[in-house]
Structure 1
């Protein structure tokens, strides 16, 4: 508890200095969870409650990884089968002649995209660099990586994505985010169920996580903030976005959760529990990056770290991920200790990164 008190003091100091609006943080080990909250739901607003429900943005991705590997465990999918069987939109992709190059200069893909590629962010689809022609084209079609789900139905999303070339050959480079959205479409088509139902049936239901989902009670959602053009806080429309069922149930960035429920989910990444067999947890939490892919992932993963299947893999046995709207959750697989810090402001706001970095003290 002393460690949590120390971190809460550091976070409270950020609130007092005007660098952090509000936070909820917590630790969990051996089935015991400790949660603390500070700051407010909005500047000069009411106090933030420990059971506040936050938009997870990219902290959704590890949930998608667990769900996909559960489908492999059940024999519904195989890691190295081509996804084109279920996603014909991706059956004959073109590939840029060079990453970042013009989108009309392409060659045929040399191999099929597999589930393994999607899980490891090596399908060739994803963040292709600020201002690159492919990034611009994805933005024009509203399918570029971002903190919110695509504003369209899954079939339309796949049609639009399939109309563009890949940034790289499948299995060669590491390209963030888009593979996780494709993953959700794949799982839904493979099972005939909605992504929301799959998450409920295979993860949140068995674990008893009542506050993880694609929608949340608007009264429990805080106002989230980004950086405004004047350098001040700019209110985001996260409450309206997550108070209603989305058109696209994104496994890249679509879930919401309390800190308490997310900490319970992180237990799965230690031993699998009732959700996933240990061999699949091991597969998910093993570094998969080649040297080229590790270079591509620079800026997304920390120096000296790797990437498994939808999680960062640190050399000390710690795995997890963070979300661009200001959340982070990791677990130490050696000790079983999990930690999370959720804030009400995005990474671009000064003070957010400093707040999220306190998660490492909580894990010690």
Structure 2
């Protein structure tokens, strides 16, 4: 396909110029995938293979959205029930009087947090802005938003998070990331199962995705790079994170996958396939943001875009999400064409954004 060859050629140019270490990209349509790889597994190392496994970071979130809606479809949870029934740590939250204010200046929450709030990032938990007292407090407790799973057990995570105020009233603003980690704890408590068990039972198992999981063979994971303090590349310790089951199975950022498996997952967002009823796919891929929430999401979603349930909603019918460690996956729901670009370097490395932007050309 001429378009695919053109895009891989542009990615190879980024590799040749030294702006990209390695990539795997692919498209999927009518049940068939085409995948290509370029660059190396590490700087000066062997060529990168098409079946390499990448940390998804935030590209995990759409998987969490599908899983949660499957449990709603099964009647295990309801979108508008208070989560405090299962998460008593969030039963009586306090709310900052202003998002950048002191964490001891709060008022009671005016309503309970619901599953719908978690799925749409409007629960009042999440990114409170760089340098704000709440962000600093979350960082001190190791529960702040980031590309890695919290380094603790889920109950401890909820205890620490629940001891802090919300950044906004539930249902009022849009605040990134943390809702997805709370979501995972909710789903596990609702079912008595592990998050990994739920993902396997309801998503990856039915789809036959052998390489989308919370653990991975370290030998299949390429070296991932971030930006070092000197402006050069520094390797990130990704392999060890996936070598053993994590203490916290994060639906915000905890999965690893091949491009092939992620493309097959994206098919769900067209009509649900064997995983999810079409009415629930519509719910997930409908923009749920108010104008105020959309303003709060600026910088996270593109101009003119909205947010559904764990996915960005673009005006042209394209939905999906990207991850801070250099992955992106979207699907055009009108045509059924899926596209993904996974790289070996984080978003802060020059060249990564250019590589990820090639996903739009793959979808045309």
TM-score (norm 1): 1.00
Once the two structures are TM-superposed, the CA of residue 173 in structure 1 deviates from its matched residue by 0.3
By how many angstroms is 1:93 displaced? 0.3
Match of 2:187, SS state, is: helix
Show the counterpart of 2:111: 111
Q: 1-side partners of 2:125 and 2:160: how far apart? A: 12
Q: Report 1:270-349 matches (<5 A).
A: 270-349=270-349
- Distance of 1:11 and 1:303 partners within structure 2: 25
State how far apart, in whole Å, the 2-side matches of 1:65 and 1:255 are. 13
Find the residue that maps to 1:49 and give its secondary structure: coil
| Matching residue of 1:357 | 357
User: How far 1:232 moved relative to its partner?
Assistant: 0.6
Q: CA deviation at 1:242?
A: 1.3
Equivalent position SS for 1:46: coil
Structure 1 match to 2:139: 139
Matched residue, 1:180: 180
Gaps of 5+ in 1: none
1:244 to partner: Cα distance: 1.4
Quote how far apart the aligned CAs of 1:190 are: 0.1
Per-residue CA distance 1:209-257 (angstroms, 9 max, x = gap) = 0000000000000110000011110100011111111000000000000
- The residue number in structure 2 matching 1:214 is 214
Measure the CA separation in 1 of the matches of 2:363 and 2:231: 32
- What is the CA–CA distance in structure 2 between the aligned matches of 1:99 and 1:177, rounded to whole Å? 16
CA deviations over 1:94-152 (Å, ceiling 9, x no partner): 00011111100000000000000000000000000000000000000000000000000
* Aligned position for 1:66: 66
CA distance in 2, matches of 1:209, 1:264: 8
Q: How many residue pairs get matched?
A: 364
Partner of 1:190: 190
Q: TM-score, normalised by structure 2?
A: 1.00
Mapped to 2, the partners of 1:309 and 1:100 lie a distance apart of: 26
Q: Distance in 1 between matches of 2:72 and 2:241?
A: 31
Match of 2:240 in 1: 240
Aligned-CA RMSD value: 0.4
* 1:77 equivalenced with 2:77 (yes/no): yes
SS in 2 for 1:357: helix
Deviates more, 1:237-246 or 1:21-30: 237-246
Moved more, 237-246 or 269-278: 237-246
In structure 1, what is the equivalent of residue 36 of structure 2? 36
